[in-house]
Structure 1
Amino acid sequence: MTQGQGGLRRWSAARWGRVSRLRLTSLRLRLVVVFGAVALTAAVSASGIAYWLNREAVLTRTQGSVLRDFEQEMQNRAGSLPEHPSQDELQHTAGQMANSSQRFSVLLVAADGSGQTVYGNSGGLNGFSLEDVPESLRTAVNRQQDVGGGNRSPYHLYWQRVVDHGTPYLVAGTKVIGGGPTGYMRKSLEPEAKDLNSLAWSLGIATGLALVGAALLAQAAATTVLKPVHRLGVAARRLGEGRLDTRLRVSGTDELADLSRTFNRTAEALEKRVDDMAARDEASRRFVADMSHELRTPLTAITTVAEVLEEELDAESGSIDPMIEPAVRLVVSETRRLNNLVENLMEVTRFDAGTARLVLDDVDVADQITACIDARAWLDAVDLDAERGIHALLDPRRLDVILANLIGNALKHGGSPVRVSVSTADDSVVISVRDHGPGIPEDVLPHVFDRFYKASASRPRSEGSGLGLSIALENAHIHGGEITAVNSPEGGAVFTLRLPRGVSERTEHEGDDGGGREAGEQGVRAVPDKGDAT
């Protein structure tokens, strides 16, 4: 068998296993099985009871007729024999007794005049013999009872049903009251057994038909019950997919109809609630966006004044009164914080509104990181481990925002030196930023990317707004990437940025194919969005 055939067989077996599990867990199948089990139990019980009652009735009726006839023959014919009959007399009487209406075999046992035991049977030498009579029956027949009370005679008629070579027989025996031979009778019950077998087959067929009928009834009932359930499941899936206008058609007054009405009321309430929340969320986003835009004009003027004041502080002339110098420095610092907060709020508003767009370009990751560090004068505090030549199709401005937030966060909370390393894995670029600080507390770690979250209990007050890491994560997501944060076993926190390399390799090939590098890059560059101009 080839490897492809083996894989196909494994796939087929796995698929069949999944289908079998789905079938076994089907509500329709379970309903049919339950209906069938109940019907089978009821049919088998009814058939068993009917068979047992009919069997007892048939056997009791046949047995009663045979025993009465045998007892009457024993009294009339065997009772007329002398006390010590000969074998011929016994043989003749046994033949007469066997010719009764019931047609049973007869065996007579007596002692002749010399005291020897003689036998007479209705079938000659190969007929009914004493060995065909069970020992227990012979013992009971020859046992003499005390006469008195309710017992009128010393000997009684005893019977037993036996099976000989697969044929059922009724065997009975008694002694002639007042002295005489002992008589035994054997009657074949094969006709009755055949009748009972026919009855059993009929009851079995009836049970099978009842089971088939129960299965069909269960199928019809399951279809009737499961149609509303199926519609409810479909409606629930649509509701889960966000189609909040989904409603069920309600008919009837049963429990399923009540469930459908409840679903409709729940869907209606959910739709109203979601619409209200969407309206409030939209109003909030519009408010933040409008507020940010409105703040930019006066903030620009304030920033200009703050820059002038900062230049005066740095000037050697000392034109600012030393008494108000701390206040001026505070105004400059808080103005810078306010400016960053407004810019961050505007960026968050674009992400929430879905208007953020990528302006893609083929970027050398090492050059981009170096430019980010150099622009912020972090060269002395950051160790860079990155080889040039690792290209990716990214938005340079958004990558700079991500790097600035991750490296700045590491310098601010972990301290220098901060190590930045770049590698590739699975057609992705992996950028790792590690600090050598105390690390991130375990209770804070799940929330480091939450908006406005600050671990004030574990870290000192910072100048940040609590939006930097959140914005970095959003910029990673819009690239199709991810950022994770963990604590290193050697100490410090490690932030890992993973971004897809995109189609930068295809771009390089296109650039080498006679058209030039520029043409290839232009083919994949996205159109800038006006909202991203800042």
Structure 2
Amino acid sequence: MTQEHPGGPRGWAAARKGVWSRLRLTSLRLRLVVVFGLVALTAAVSASGIAYWLNREAVLSRAQDAVLRGFEQEMQNRAASLPEHPTQDELQHTAGQMANSSQRFGVLLVAENAEGRTVYGSSGGLGGFALADVPESLRTAVNREQEVTGANSAPYHLYWQRIVEDDTPYLVAGTQVIGGGPTGYMFKSLQPEAKDLNSLAWSLGIATGLALIGSALLAQAAASTVLKPVQRLGTAARRLGEGRLDTRLRVSGTDELADLSRTFNSAAEALEKRVADMAGREQASRRFVADMSHELRTPLTAITAVTEVLEEELDSESGGIDPMIEPAVRLVVSETRRLNDLVENLMEVTRFDAGTARLVLDDVDVADQITACIDARAWLDAVELDAERGIHARLDPRRLDVVLANLIGNALKHGGSPVRVAVREEEDAVVIRVRDHGPGIPEDVLPHVFDRFYKASASRPRSEGSGLGLSIALENAHIHGGEITAANSSEGGAVFTLRLPRDAATPAEADSGNTENAGNAGNTENTENAGDTADARRTGGDESNGTDAKGHS
């Protein structure tokens, strides 16, 4: 025996199948978790976004206001004290003093000296803050003189702007000393505030992730609480569908799921009671049919003996029967024979229903078996056999003879000759097809041809068949582990296909296991059916009583 590694293709395929199976089984659970997660994610992202935006504005505004106030005070205290035309050294010295304030920002002072040239003073020297670092729009706004009105008390104002250089945020501001004096610009890095905001963003992101995980756990707990009764209900429904009608749910609580459990228990109780009643009635009906069939056999045996004597008198040369009553005698003989076949068929049906039908297996040549069936019923001239010798199968010869007699007799009676019987071998199976050349089976009749007591034509309720022949044939095929199907041929006529396993030992063992307690009933059945076969051969295939279901004209 070869073994496959669990990690091989089959192992992986089985694992994937198991995963998808679990996903399908818990799809509602997944939907609940996903919905909870989406709601939590939306709420957390919204709250984090709002919190980040509010904190960002607060941090930047607080830092910005403090820097601008400090710069404005330095311009008023130090830059305003410079002469109207300062020298570059004076501007440089003042800019250094302004930069040493508590806010620690860079300062650039711009003015005109006594010669009318523009001089600059930077807190960082020549390599520090330069005029080129100030945006053009800010310089324009700072140098624009505004009209003094009641709403505007000063011609120059303080302007500021945020810029980013090399991924570092900066605050740039500028103003001009009123009444003549230098123009001052301030340059302040906001990197500490940006780091604080980044830390805040990371914290909010972590909080959002924790909220998402918490919501998933909460959803899982809620789903387990809600879906556990639903899962119990599904399990109970499956058990009920498997026939365990005593299945009940434990009811606790007063919510909707508890009401559903009570309803399920009530429905299961009602179903169990109804099925028990139906089973009781069905068992009583089967017992009645079986008892009636057995009770009828005794008087039928005597009547059959009398009719045989009458039949011999009819066939005798002495003419012992009055010609006036001869038709009545022939009718009695025919109906007695029909009644005897009906009783035998009813007894066979009751054996199948009771589970006491058993197989007596033997190795048979299928072609020889079909030939024997046709020969015993004098059908050689009306049947074409297409079967090679040497096709062997382990079957019950008597039951196979019953099936063949019903199918071939049905085709001859309602389809018309020639009837063609073909045998083919398939893998582990033998297929026998019986085809006639009649008008075929009406489409509305096809689904019912194997139903008991079914007759397609309401105008022939008194036909020779009882409507049990094809049903018995199907049961005999089933007990072998085979099947019979009916269809219409594209070339005209009906086709019955019998498919039997090459070895019916497995179905036979399973069936015999059901009849271990049958005792002598099975032996009696074999003896009785042997007589049935003899009757069928003597009467030319009257065992195919159920052929009325075919519905041919």
TM bucket (normalised to shorter chain) is: 0.7 to 0.9
Q: Which moved more, 1:449-458 or 1:65-74?
A: 449-458
1:247 aligns to 2:248 (yes or no): yes
CA contact (8 A) 1:357 1:529 kept: no
2:9 is aligned to 10
1:290 aligns to 2:304 (yes or no): no
Decide whether aligned partners of structure 1 residues 367 and 109 sit closer, same or farther in structure 2, where only a CA change above 3 A counts.
same
1:110 aligns to 2:111 (yes or no): yes
**Superimposed CA distance per residue, residues 393-445 of structure 1 (whole angstroms, 9 cap, x where no aligned partner):** 21111111100111011111211111112222112222111111122222222
Q: 1:213 offset after TM fit, Å?
A: 2.9
2:213 is aligned to 212
CA contact (8 A) 1:309 1:328 kept: yes
The whole-number CA distance in structure 2 between the counterparts of 1:389 and 1:7 is 45
Decide whether aligned partners of structure 1 residues 109 and 374 sit closer, same or farther in structure 2, where only a CA change above 3 A counts.
same
2:527 is aligned to 533
The whole-number CA distance in structure 2 between the counterparts of 1:113 and 1:37 is 71
The whole-number CA distance in structure 1 between the counterparts of 2:140 and 2:154 is 17
2:269 is aligned to 268
1:516 is aligned to none
The whole-number CA distance in structure 2 between the counterparts of 1:60 and 1:260 is 62
Amino acid at match of 1:37: L
Percent sequence identity over aligned pairs: 82
**Uncovered stretches (5+) of structure 1, i.e. residues with no partner:** 505-525
2:19 is aligned to 20
Amino acid at match of 2:337: R
1:186 aligns to 2:187 (yes or no): yes
Q: Which moved more, 1:448-457 or 1:357-366?
A: 448-457
Q: Which moved more, 1:24-33 or 1:182-191?
A: 24-33
The whole-number CA distance in structure 1 between the counterparts of 2:348 and 2:452 is 12
CA contact (8 A) 1:358 1:528 kept: no
Decide whether aligned partners of structure 1 residues 418 and 191 sit closer, same or farther in structure 2, where only a CA change above 3 A counts.
same
The whole-number CA distance in structure 2 between the counterparts of 1:488 and 1:460 is 27
Structure-2-length-normalised TM-score? 0.84
Amino acid at match of 1:486: A
The whole-number CA distance in structure 1 between the counterparts of 2:138 and 2:402 is 108
1:200 aligns to 2:174 (yes or no): no
Amino acid at match of 1:16: A
The whole-number CA distance in structure 2 between the counterparts of 1:45 and 1:146 is 46
2:538 is aligned to none
1:500 is aligned to 501
Aligned ranges for residues 328-339 of structure 1 at < 5 Å?
328-339=329-340
The whole-number CA distance in structure 2 between the counterparts of 1:396 and 1:527 is 20
Aligned ranges for residues 20-39 of structure 1 at < 5 Å?
20-25=19-24, 26-27=26-27, 28-39=29-40
1:437 is aligned to 438
1:279 is aligned to 280
The whole-number CA distance in structure 2 between the counterparts of 1:8 and 1:379 is 63
CA contact (8 A) 2:107 2:184 kept: yes
The whole-number CA distance in structure 1 between the counterparts of 2:46 and 2:435 is 77
1:126 is aligned to 127
> Number of residues paired by the alignment?
511
Amino acid at match of 2:465: G
The whole-number CA distance in structure 2 between the counterparts of 1:422 and 1:338 is 34
1:363 aligns to 2:364 (yes or no): yes
Q: Which moved more, 1:296-305 or 1:248-257?
A: 296-305
The whole-number CA distance in structure 2 between the counterparts of 1:341 and 1:145 is 124
Amino acid at match of 2:300: L
Q: 1:112 offset after TM fit, Å?
A: 3.0
The whole-number CA distance in structure 1 between the counterparts of 2:297 and 2:246 is 41
The whole-number CA distance in structure 2 between the counterparts of 1:265 and 1:445 is 40
2:346 is aligned to 345
Amino acid at match of 2:164: V
The whole-number CA distance in structure 2 between the counterparts of 1:492 and 1:128 is 108
2:512 is aligned to none
1:511 is aligned to none
2:258 is aligned to 257
The whole-number CA distance in structure 2 between the counterparts of 1:266 and 1:152 is 90
Amino acid at match of 1:423: R
Decide whether aligned partners of structure 1 residues 151 and 293 sit closer, same or farther in structure 2, where only a CA change above 3 A counts.
farther
Amino acid at match of 2:497: T
Decide whether aligned partners of structure 1 residues 353 and 298 sit closer, same or farther in structure 2, where only a CA change above 3 A counts.
same
Q: 1:52 offset after TM fit, Å?
A: 1.7
1:233 is aligned to 234
1:46 aligns to 2:47 (yes or no): yes
Q: Which moved more, 1:309-318 or 1:228-237?
A: 309-318
2:79 is aligned to 78
RMSD of equivalent CA atoms: 2.9
Decide whether aligned partners of structure 1 residues 328 and 179 sit closer, same or farther in structure 2, where only a CA change above 3 A counts.
farther
Decide whether aligned partners of structure 1 residues 114 and 407 sit closer, same or farther in structure 2, where only a CA change above 3 A counts.
same
Q: 1:11 offset after TM fit, Å?
A: 1.9
The whole-number CA distance in structure 2 between the counterparts of 1:13 and 1:358 is 44
Decide whether aligned partners of structure 1 residues 458 and 171 sit closer, same or farther in structure 2, where only a CA change above 3 A counts.
farther
Amino acid at match of 2:382: A
Q: 1:84 offset after TM fit, Å?
A: 3.3
Q: 1:326 offset after TM fit, Å?
A: 4.6
The whole-number CA distance in structure 2 between the counterparts of 1:94 and 1:406 is 120
Structure-1-length-normalised TM-score? 0.87
Q: 1:276 offset after TM fit, Å?
A: 1.1
The higher-RCO structure (CA 8 Å, 6+ apart) is 2
Q: Which moved more, 1:206-215 or 1:271-280?
A: 206-215
SS at match of 2:245: coil
Amino acid at match of 2:13: A
Q: Which moved more, 1:341-350 or 1:292-301?
A: 292-301
Q: 1:7 offset after TM fit, Å?
A: 12
Decide whether aligned partners of structure 1 residues 59 and 77 sit closer, same or farther in structure 2, where only a CA change above 3 A counts.
same
CA contact (8 A) 2:357 2:522 kept: no
CA contact (8 A) 1:431 1:496 kept: yes
The whole-number CA distance in structure 1 between the counterparts of 2:470 and 2:354 is 19
CA contact (8 A) 1:441 1:458 kept: no
The whole-number CA distance in structure 2 between the counterparts of 1:199 and 1:459 is 94
CA contact (8 A) 1:356 1:529 kept: no
1:477 aligns to 2:478 (yes or no): yes
Amino acid at match of 1:481: G
1:393 is aligned to 394
Q: 1:304 offset after TM fit, Å?
A: 3.8
Q: 1:528 offset after TM fit, Å?
A: 4.7
1:523 is aligned to none
Q: 1:450 offset after TM fit, Å?
A: 1.7
Aligned ranges for residues 293-332 of structure 1 at < 5 Å?
293-315=294-316, 325-332=326-333
CA contact (8 A) 2:395 2:504 kept: no
Q: 1:314 offset after TM fit, Å?
A: 4.2
